[in-house]
Structure formats: structure tokens, C-alpha cells
Amino acid sequence: MPTTLHSTVETFLVLLLIVFVVAAIVQRVRLPYTVALVVVGFLGLQPASLNITLTPDLILLVFLPTLLFEGAYNVPAGRLWRNALPITLLAAPGVLIGTLVTGAIIHLALGLSWGIALLFGALISSTDPIAVVSLFRQLGAPRRLALLVEGESLFNDGAAITLFQIILVAIVSGAFGLAGGIGRFLLTVAGALVVGVVVGYVGSRLLRAIDSAQIQITATVVAAYGAYLLAETLTFSGAIAVVVAALFFGNYGSAHGLSPRSVRALSATWEFLGFVANSLVFLLIGIALDPLQVLSNWWVITIAFLATLGGRAVVVFLLMPLLRGAQKIPPRYLPVLLWGGLRGAVSLALALSIPLSLANGQAFPQRHTLQVIAFGVVGVSLLLQGLTMSPLIGWLGLRARPTEQTTEDAVGLLRARVAAVEGALLTLEREHERGEIGALQFGRLASAYRAEHTQLRQQLAPLEAQEADEEQPASSDARYDDATMSDNRNT
């Protein structure tokens, strides 16, 4: 085995081991998992010791299609459509307005040229709310709020990348036309939508024609990376194409015509791929952050972070109050939308992709400064906003209040879970009888289901006894009342 390949495999295994250890510890510590990975990478690991180089291709070509496909695959299209207007406002005009406001503040505060300042505004406009969305689920925050944050991030990646590329070409070539830039932006988005629809529809039809979970999983992986590469080859937005294709697979392809086994296998596979990709990205972000460089440029990074926050505030508090009727956003959601716009891997990838020189051969102006600021803002955003999101949700009253569960409620829930496990066992036995599941896999699954069934029955037995005891006095009182009424009538 070549030395480079051997070291690459070793590095990958070390990273996975770190991910495993952090995930195991975080289960016992109240800390967002992805934020914990950033902290571990930032404080404990150095790129040189692990032979790691964070490149734009690693993020945009290897991780981004998986992250976007997994996220969109699990989003209900109906709920997304009902919130299409606020998500579109945040992901399209919001990216443009945020870029302009952030760029203006950077230009005025740090003295960077308009072109360089707007380039930073574009690369930092992509949001990465993985840490926030997982925290929403833990705290029981409103599902619509989580959908708004997640839906925006799915589509603003493509908008931010496209806008960044337009501004970058203008800086490198020294020429920019407003009409041409707007036309290019619209063409890039429209073309990506077409590519995503075609790949998603054709791929979903193929899933129905194939009765093999392994082949169906392979088809979705090919579709995720194929949609991205095809759109990029046609100079469209690969990110938007992947999102649209994944929505088709998740809401059309997997929802009709697939066996339960295939649906379970697809969901489990993409859940695993998304977990690994997210974990490695956040760990690599922490590793890529240089503590000394961040500390030595703390004032520039602070100004840039405040500029990014200012641009986000204008977007949220300018666009969201315009919505009316069913699309209206509750005022309590606005601070969370502001503070929940964390920056992440896409911003770093765009910063790293800035070329060394212009078309005339001169060095690209302020390239190192842009990269330092971008890395610093991403690090501050993930750590500061990620760690303070929980108190903000509690302060706004968006945390789910614990309800007092009665014995009747607990019994009903456990009985429903027992029935679900029994139904799963019956389905499993039928699939085994038809030869769809091998003996070894059937034995493992059946054993796991039976153990869960036994555990649930053990939990249910004392609660049923307690429920019977609680009902007994009521029955005695009822008999006493009936006897009293009978005596009164006789009297």
C-alpha cells in the first residue's frame, strides 16, 4: 500500500475514533454535538499532526452533496411548500441583501475595497444550522421554526455559491455588468432546478422498477453526486440541484412503491452518511482554526462577526415582517432566526477557493485577510451562537414545557409501542417467509424486537396494576352512590 494512501486511511480512522469518543461523551453532557467537535478540533488537534489539508474540493465535492441530500431527503415537501415564501425570501433576496449590508459594513469599518468587501459578504452568507436544528429537537422547539432554519440553509448554499462566483469573476477579470450578473444568477438557479427535477423524477421512477435495497441505495448515492456534478458541468448550481433531487426521492420515490425493508434501509443509510459527513466537517473546521491566528486578529474578526450579524439582522427584521396570513412568522421566531444563522463549511470552502492571482497576473488583493476573517467568523459563530442558543430559546418561551403524564397516558403510550413492536415482528416474519430476508438477518432483528417487547411488557405490568388500583376506589364510590340513591328512592 502506498505511503500516502496508508496515511490517509490512518487519518480517517483517527478522525472516526475522535467522532465516536466525542459522541459518546456528549450523550452525558449538555453540549451540542457539532459544537463539541469544533471545540475538540480547535483546542486539541493540529493539522500537521494528522496530515490534514482542508480544501474547497473536499468540502464542496465530497461532503456537500451528502449533507444536502440527507437534509432534503428527510424534509416533508408539503410542510416545505406551506413555508415556501419565507424560506425563499431568506434564501434568495436574503442572501443578496445580507451580502450588500455585510459588505458595506466591512468596507466602512475595515477599509477594504468594495469588491473585496462584497466578496466576503457573499462567502459568509451561507448558513449551516446543523447544531441549531439538532438542539431544536432536544429542546422541543416549534417544528415550524426548525423547518424555516433548515429549509433556508438547504437553498441558500446554492444562492451564496452562485453570488460568490459572480463577484469573484468580476474581481478577477476587472469587469462587471449588473444586468449580466442578475441574468447569470437567475439562469444558474433555474438551470439547477431543471437538473434537480429531471434527476429526481427519473431516479424515483427507477427506484420503483428495482426491488433490491442495495441497488436502490446505490441509485440514490449516484443521484446525489450525479445531480451535483451534472449541474456544475452545465455551470448551474450543484447545491440547488441536489436539494431538489433529494426532495423528489424523499417525498415521491421513497413514499410510493417501495417495500418497507427498502424504506428502512434507505433511511438508515442516509442517516449514517449524514452523521459521518457532518461529524467530519465540524471536526475538520475545528482543526483548521488556528488558535494563534484567531487571537492575533481578534479585533478584525470581531468587527467582521458583528458585520455578519448586522447583515443577518437586516434580512430577518426587514423581510419577515412583510409576510401576512398563513405565511406570517411569529415575532418570537425572529430573534432565533437571527441568532440561528450559524456559518459553517461552505463559507470556509469558498474562502479557500479564492485564487492566488488576477487575470493580469497580479496577486489577488487581501486574499489572506479574507481567509483569516472567514475562518475566525465561522469559529466564533459556531461556538458563541451554538452555545447560547439554548438559553435564548428558553428566554423566548419556545422550549417545550414538560407535561405531567398520568398513569393512563403512560399505559396508552407503552401499549402503542408494544403493538408497534408486535406489528414489526409480524412483518419481519412475513418477509422471512417470502425469502426477502436471510436467516441470519431475520434472527438478529427478531431477537432485538423480542427483547424490546419483553422490556416494554415489564415496564407496562406495574403501570397496569397501578391503573387498576386507581380505578378501584372510583368503582366503590360508584357502587356506594348507586346504593344510596336506591335507599333514597325506597324511602
Q: Read off the pLDDT of residues 420-465 as tens digits, 9 standing for 90 and up.
A: 888 878 877 887 777 767 777 778 778 888 888 888 888 878 877 7
157: closest CA among 260, 231, 255?
A: 231
295: closest CA among 34, 42, 33, 105?
A: 42
Note whether 72 and 247 are within 8 A (CB). Answer: yes
Percent of the chain with pLDDT over 90: 30
> Angle 213-233/238-248 helices, nearest 10 degrees?
150
pLDDT at 477 over 50: no
Confidence of residue 1 (pLDDT cuts 50, 70, 90): very low
One-letter identity of residue 454: T
Q: In the predicted model, what is the mean pLDDT of the chain?
A: 84
pLDDT of residue 425: 82
Percent of the chain with pLDDT over 70: 89
pLDDT of residue 270: 92
Mean pLDDT, range 350-373, rounded to an integer: 87
Cβ-in-10-Å burial (0-12, 13-18, 19+) of 277 comes to buried
Note whether 397 and 328 are within 8 A (CB). Answer: no
* Helix, strand and coil in the chain, % to nearest 5: 80, 0, 20
CA Rg value for the chain: 27
Low-confidence winner among 230-234, 306-310, 354-358 (lowest mean pLDDT): 354-358
Query: What is the separation, in whole angstroms, between the first and last Cα of the chain?
Result: 102
pLDDT of residue 402: 55
Q: Which three cell numbers stand for residue 362?
A: 497580479
pLDDT of residue 489: 43
Measure the CA–CA gap between 100 and 102, rounded to whole angstroms.
6
Buried b (16+ CB within 10 A) or exposed e, 80-114: beebebbbebbbbebbbbbbbbbbbbbbeebebee
pLDDT of residue 455: 86
pLDDT tens readout for residues 391-411: 898 898 887 665 545 566 677
| HSE (side-chain half, CA atoms, 13 Å) at 57 | 1
Better pLDDT: 184 or 89: 89
Measure the CA–CA gap between 373 and 294, rounded to whole angstroms.
8
Note whether 327 and 85 are within 8 A (CB). Answer: yes
Q: Identify the sign of the CA torsion 135, 137, 140, 143.
A: positive
Helix, strand, or coil (residue 373): helix
pLDDT of residue 408: 67
Confidence of residue 480 (pLDDT cuts 50, 70, 90): very low
Residue appearing with cell numbers 440541484? 241
| HSE (side-chain half, CA atoms, 13 Å) at 92 | 13
pLDDT of residue 121: 95
Note whether 95 and 160 are within 8 A (CB). Answer: yes
Rounded to 5°, the CA angle 345-264-193 comes to 45
Measure the CA–CA gap between 342 and 332, rounded to whole angstroms.
18
Helix, strand, or coil (residue 405): coil
One-letter identity of residue 347: S
Note whether 35 and 382 are within 8 A (CB). Answer: yes
Measure the CA–CA gap between 340 and 385, rounded to whole angstroms.
7
Collect all residues with Cβ–Cβ distance below 8 Å to 380 and sequence separation of at least 6.
301, 302, 305
pLDDT at 229 over 50: yes
Better pLDDT: 489 or 205: 205
Better pLDDT: 426 or 469: 426
Confidence of residue 473 (pLDDT cuts 50, 70, 90): low
pLDDT tens readout for residues 297-339: 899 999 999 999 999 999 999 999 999 888 899 999 999 999 9
The highest-level CATH class for domain 3-395 is mainly alpha
CA distances from 448 to 425, 441, 444, 445, 455 (A): 10, 11, 6, 5, 11
Mean pLDDT, range 176-204, rounded to an integer: 87
What is the pTM (predicted TM-score) of this model?
Answer: 0.81
Helix (H) or strand (E) holding 387: helix 386-395
Low-confidence winner among 110-119, 252-261, 277-286, 372-381 (lowest mean pLDDT): 252-261
pLDDT at 374 over 70: yes
* DSSP state, residue 436: S
Measure the CA–CA gap between 112 and 103, rounded to whole angstroms.
9
Helix, strand, or coil (residue 113): coil
Segments making up each domain of the chain, as ranges: 3-395, 407-490
Q: Which three cell numbers stand for residue 373?
A: 476573517
Collect all residues with Cβ–Cβ distance below 8 Å to 229 and sequence separation of at least 6.
238
Measure the CA–CA gap between 162 and 123, rounded to whole angstroms.
10
Measure the CA–CA gap between 198 and 157, rounded to whole angstroms.
20
CA distances from 100 to 124, 184, 338, 378 (A): 11, 18, 17, 19
Helix, strand, or coil (residue 65): helix
Note whether 294 and 375 are within 8 A (CB). Answer: yes
pLDDT tens readout for residues 8-47: 788 888 889 988 988 888 877 777 788 888 888 877 666 5
342: closest CA among 383, 376, 374, 307?
A: 383
Mean pLDDT, range 334-357, rounded to an integer: 89
